[in-house]
Structure 1
Amino acid sequence: MSDLYWTIDSLVVKDNVLFGFGWIFHARHEIASLRFRVTSAEKDAPEYIYADFGKPREDVGRTHLNHIRALNSGYVVFGALSDEKYPDAIVLECALADGSVIDLSVPPSKIIRFSDDYTKVKNRIVLRQAGTLFKRGLYLIRSGKISSFFDKVKRYLNGRPQTALQKPEELASLFEPLEGENLSVILDHNLGGGANQYRDRLVEAIIREGRSAIILTYHVTTLSHMVIVRNKRLNVRYSIPNITFLWRALQQLSVSDIIYNTAVSFVKPDEIPQFLIQLKTLTSARLIVLAHDFYLVCPSHFLLDHEGKYCQIPEISVCNNCLPKNRYGFATLFTERDISKWRAIWGSLLAVADEIVTFSNSTAQLLMKAYPQIESSQISIRPHQVAYLADKITRVKQTASLRIGVVGQIGFHKGAVFIQQLSHEIKRREINVNIVVIGSIEVNCEPSIVSQTGAYRYDQLASLIDASGANVMLFPSIWPETFSYVEQELMCMDLPVASFNVGAPAERIATYSKGLVLASMDAASVLDELILFHSRIYLAH
């Protein structure tokens, strides 16, 4: 027990939903599994919500310099319980690689429970989370990463609600004459990444047309629905109690189009299709469904099964066995865990959509596999426009030995465990091959093989790749991504790029002159392929 170091920075419980984050590591053993065990006197058996662990915590790494596992000690937990009974006890259950399990009781003082006084509770959450942000920010300042500190602060402040709307009619009162006409209502998550980039450009186009956009999203850290109102005059964020509140508010406004971007991270996601269908019926607005991920198909929106492998959308009987056990993506937020009901609910949305948009042929094919009733003529395939990307061709300086570059925040679905396995294979062979992550990786890797730069801004990417010495880029995502801006950026830089044979990335890599579609996901085989790829690109002439 004395070898285990841990803390909870924030743990919030609202209705049947739990969200929290902190850090944990063991001095001698890797963590194999981390989950919160929730018990209630009214239930015979406990419920479990798994945490996503291994996230970078530079501040913890700096504090515990003698412990290599401290650097990737961060965790996040977010999930739903089967009902809204407040738990009697919460225990953090930590399973180690040696097979032992350690129970850590969560003190009641660490838990923030929502009450009727929402403002008081929200302020308490914000203060606690801001305190953690400040402590982590001190590390960045001391390390000279002042711009990164300000970027984090800006993202935090820009992400949270500024205040709350008390009555539905207050939304309409925000608009001046004509601003409330021909509104676009967009439903989207607030987690960052490519889907949010797409939404931002969409909103900018709406504003250029002189119109207004209302974005319904979900603010995970305060467990609250939020509306963002944007036009040439307004850029404001309000928390609202639920989507029914917005439904009543929109009855007083003129809506011309409804855009589903993604509902990932929303609590009670099964309510969303009916909300959008009712809004379309009320307003006669055009409904556009965008497929940025596979939430339309499964609550495990990366199509990872309960073993963490790409499922390829199997027979329903396989899904019925998998979904109740699945802890990937945001699967626990759909408490019924019934794939037939999920497909019926989201299928009804697809049935009334005026347009279904995918960003690759691969995504369209998978969508039609899940919903055979969809005709290919109903789907518009529109690859993302990337003309805004700076045309920065990098110059590879070191070509004699293979140096593998990986770009992004590499979590489980992005291939973190595979990179860890690949580093083990390189070490086993004792060959002169290294891996550099331009960004961060959410597992502990052999430091003599794998290095990482930490978070970066887009305008730094080309120079960081130059400085890293990477000469073959690997895109290790294990799910069928619907596009991938990162891969497109690497291709625009004229770099050699390899990816697994899944999703839109493989579709584009197959036609790229410096591309390699890998034949397997086995680390040893991939290493062999990358060595040959490097030789063909640089040493064959």
Structure 2
Amino acid sequence: MGLPRHRLRRVGNIESVCRVGEGLRVSGWTSVEVLRFSWPDGSRDVRPDRPRRDLRPARGMGFEVTLPPRAKPIRVAALMPSGHVRHVRLQHPADPWTARTRRRVLRAFVPDMVRALPAFAAYAFRRGDAQKQAVKAALGLLNGPVAPPLDARWFGASDASAALPPAAVTRFTIVMPVHNGFDLLREALDRVRRHTGGDWRIVIVDDASTDPRVGPFLRDWTRAQEGRAELATLERNGGFIAAANHGLALAEGRGGPVILLNSDAFVPDGWAERLLAPLSDSTVASVTPFSNTAEIFSAPLAGQSVAMTSELADRLDEVARGLCVPGTLPSAPTGVGFCMAMSRDWLDRVPRLDPAFGRGYGEEVDWCQRVRAMGGRHVGMPGLFVLHAGGESFGAEKSARVTAANAMISGRYARYDAEVQDYLRHDPLRTARLTLAIAWAGFGAVGPLPVYLAHSLGGGADMALEREIARDLKGPGAALVLRVGGVSRFVLELRLPCGRIDGATGSFDMVRSMLAAVPRLRIVYSCGVGDASASELPALLLGLRRDVLSDRLEARLHDYFPVSPSYCLLGSDARYSGPVSGDSPDQVHRYQRREGGAVSLRQWQRDWGAFLSACDEITAYSNSSAEVLRDVYPALSHRIAVRPPLPVALPPRIAPQKTSRALGVLGNLNAQKGAGVIAALARHLDAAGDPRPIVVIGNVDAACPLPARVRIHGGYRQDEIADLARRHGISVWIVPAVWPETYSFSTREALATGLPVIAFDLGAQGEAVRQAANGHALPYDPDADLAQRLRAALPVAEPAAPRGLRPRSSAMAGGVT
């Protein structure tokens, strides 16, 4: 829901209103200083204080507030920049939809459905996991944004003639304003001397440095350059803009482009010819290299600064130099003045920086906007990485100067902030940025860089993976997820303590190229279910390992995909009938290739056996799953270690219900999770006149219809489980899964509440309930009426009717444990 507008621009959005425990959580973003949420008997003020990657600080900050559950109707008051207070009404989740709300939802839904028609058609033709993911992506139902495509041209995958040609200019001038910063200045100038080629000249402008070491050093250094350097000393400190303009004036008569270079920028070998190369395009007005601190041209993450040694920066420049830079680089909304090549043609049209920006910051953005208005373009150059120590000239003044400059830029160029956000959202240089980010993570990792091959279906395997990644961020400092089974064949997700960056590709060769610079890898198979060409996965995993001594292979048994394409070991009758051997006649254990032909179970197990045999470590999460793997691969028994996943916070115990009011199912439901058993149980309860509803705390696969007595709560968080059980009056939990789970998070969460938990004595869920005082394990027989067995084990029904149940909803679910 949009907040009011100021000068035709919204001052924020309310993005989420949802029940959480006993409260109502409201979150979003705003640019105003304070929002007031009020209702008839109370109010609450919130000040936005949460930085967001998708917003510049000048555009707004995020907020989150929890209101009382009975706060309604809610009005939101915003104190506008004009001093006026504007109000909007907030829709409460419990309110019936108004006609206006329905129209707004319909207006948003119809275009989504039109865009999703091709995905629906593909799903109707081939009902695979990849097609289901494509439908979810088209409707915006995936967890998080869809990864944008990566560009193979950066690795020379297309015509080499399309690559950026060498620099056409040989004569250029470097302008370096200087104010103190002696320790960095020496290194910066030494690198200019050692690493610059061509017909170059440097103009150094000493902006009245107060450090007594700077003046003598600059005079000595200038004399030693034998005519290449000119030193201008200003008597009064005028700030960066005055010094830069003085240097630009001195460079005018020589002709050729100018490189504006900070005195804390450390250039690598061969830097100038790479930075100047894009100027061969007459429309390009400025070129900025990638750096650790360069706003939209920062790596590993755009818009974020990271500390970096000069040695690490030089290693990253070697990676950048190996990229095949396309001949036409995409336009950016601005350049960044720490190291910015400026075309002579465009400098002749706009020869100076605007002194209205005072001592510095924002001046290069203003110059770039003036040039853009005339048709000039600004580009980033990922084929060059320059270390920027950042802000040395202003020190503690930087924050105040940036704030003031941002305000001036927003006042002059109303669309600039939105253009920056749009550039960051689409990130046309993402392929190069992600490659440099992966290399940075690998160079800085404590030990080998973890690389997880994982699916895109969510569920318990993904929960366990997230906990491993959280541990990695504290240890190696980074983790890379190679995700399969989504809209694209591969999605690379680099996770860092400061954020994440991702990208999608269909090329495994491109994946290998992006990993090539990393010294050591720890390659971990997590789960490959849903991959469009899953029979290739064992070979691909082996192909990721470059060297036996440097790279490590590991496997996690989150499901039985390494045993059978039927990863839950269910047969064609959707029931588990015991271990699966290589000569099983059941066709469900044969893998049908997308391009035609089938892979027999014996061949499947041979290929996966080759990968598992190469693994340094194989982890099973329960004794039962380890036994299944040992039955199929007895030669690997000594390598299989049983250890539980990393621990999670379990829900608190809750007081048992005095009456058996509702039966609970915790977690998402699909065929293998027992949706069919729950449907049959509902019919048995109807036939017996048992009034108790079945409440699913989770989502249900759309392919598994359930009777109306089954109420679907929808998604939940772990810290909500106890509150949801109380709200719905749940007196007993049912675990209806009909496959031998490798580990069952939901079973352990249900047991932690202290309520009775009924499950079949099968797999990890059977292990868990057998070991718990409140667990009840039922014999499993694939030929028996399992729903009837569950009904017979239930506590006696009480006449009390359930209250407060939420209306039934539908969702596409079905995560893999």
Superposition TM-score, scaled by structure 1 size: 0.67
Aligned to 2:444: 179
Aligned to 1:203: 469
What is the rounded CA distance, in whole Å, between the counterparts of 2:689 and 2:603 in structure 1? 51
Q: 2:657 aligns with which of 397, 400, 416?
A: 397
The question of 1:501 aligning with 2:767 is answered no
Aligned to 1:374: 636
Which residue type is aligned with residue 526 of structure 1? L
Aligned to 1:156: 144
Q: 1:529 aligns with which of 793, 797, 804?
A: 793
Q: Deviations over 1:100-130 (max 9, x none)?
A: xxxxxxxxxxxxxxxxxxxxxxxxx8xx967
Residue 283 of structure 1, CA deviation: 5.4
CA contact (8 A) 1:402 1:531 kept: no
What is the rounded CA distance, in whole Å, between the counterparts of 1:391 and 1:439 in structure 2? 16
**Mapping of residues 368-447 of structure 1, within 5 Å:** 368-375=630-637, 377-386=638-647, 388-399=648-659, 401=660, 403-442=662-701, 443-447=704-708
Aligned to 1:68: none
CA contact (8 A) 2:451 2:480 kept: yes
Aligned to 1:26: none
CA contact (8 A) 1:359 1:483 kept: yes
Aligned to 2:625: 363
Cα 1:19–1:356 shift into 2, 3 Å:
farther
Residue 502 of structure 1, CA deviation: 1.1
Residue 78 of structure 1, CA deviation: 5.2
CA contact (8 A) 1:9 1:129 kept: no
Cα 1:370–1:78 shift into 2, 3 Å:
farther
Aligned residue for 2:598, secondary structure, equals coil
Which residue type is aligned with residue 241 of structure 1? G
Runs of at least 5 residues in structure 1 that lack an aligned partner in the other structure:
1-6, 22-35, 38-48, 53-75, 80-124, 134-151, 535-541
Higher Cα radius of gyration: 2
Cα 1:510–1:161 shift into 2, 3 Å:
same
Residue 473 of structure 1, CA deviation: 0.5
Cα 1:9–1:415 shift into 2, 3 Å:
farther
Cα 1:432–1:131 shift into 2, 3 Å:
closer
Superposition TM-score, scaled by structure 2 size: 0.45
Aligned residue for 1:440, secondary structure, equals coil
Which residue type is aligned with residue 349 of structure 1? F
Which residue type is aligned with residue 463 of structure 2? Q
Q: Deviations over 1:353-391 (max 9, x none)?
A: 11110000000000111222222x2111001233x3144
Aligned to 2:488: 223
Q: 1:246 aligns with which of 491, 511, 519?
A: 511
What is the rounded CA distance, in whole Å, between the counterparts of 2:581 and 2:495 in structure 1? 43
Aligned to 2:116: 10
Cα 1:241–1:450 shift into 2, 3 Å:
closer
Q: Deviations over 1:192-219 (max 9, x none)?
A: 1111122112122222124332211125
Aligned to 2:87: none
Which residue type is aligned with residue 278 of structure 1? G
What is the rounded CA distance, in whole Å, between the counterparts of 1:338 and 1:507 in structure 2? 32
**Mapping of residues 451-470 of structure 1, within 5 Å:** 451-470=711-730
Q: CA RMSD in A?
A: 3.1
Residue 228 of structure 1, CA deviation: 0.9
Cα 1:373–1:9 shift into 2, 3 Å:
farther
What is the rounded CA distance, in whole Å, between the counterparts of 2:492 and 2:435 in structure 1? 12
Cα 1:515–1:188 shift into 2, 3 Å:
same
Aligned residue for 2:116, secondary structure, equals strand
Aligned to 1:477: 737
Aligned residue for 2:484, secondary structure, equals strand
Which residue type is aligned with residue 508 of structure 2? I
Which residue type is aligned with residue 173 of structure 1? L
What is the rounded CA distance, in whole Å, between the counterparts of 1:214 and 1:334 in structure 2? 32
What is the rounded CA distance, in whole Å, between the counterparts of 2:769 and 2:534 in structure 1? 34
Which residue type is aligned with residue 394 of structure 1? I
Identity of counterpart residues, as a percentage?
A: 24
Number of aligned residue pairs: give it: 399
The question of 1:236 aligning with 2:501 is answered yes
What is the rounded CA distance, in whole Å, between the counterparts of 2:596 and 2:575 in structure 1? 20
CA contact (8 A) 1:269 1:334 kept: no
Moved more, 404-413 or 355-364: 404-413
What is the rounded CA distance, in whole Å, between the counterparts of 1:506 and 1:455 in structure 2? 25
Residue 250 of structure 1, CA deviation: 2.2
Aligned residue for 1:373, secondary structure, equals helix
Cα 1:9–1:129 shift into 2, 3 Å:
farther
What is the rounded CA distance, in whole Å, between the counterparts of 2:615 and 2:583 in structure 1? 28
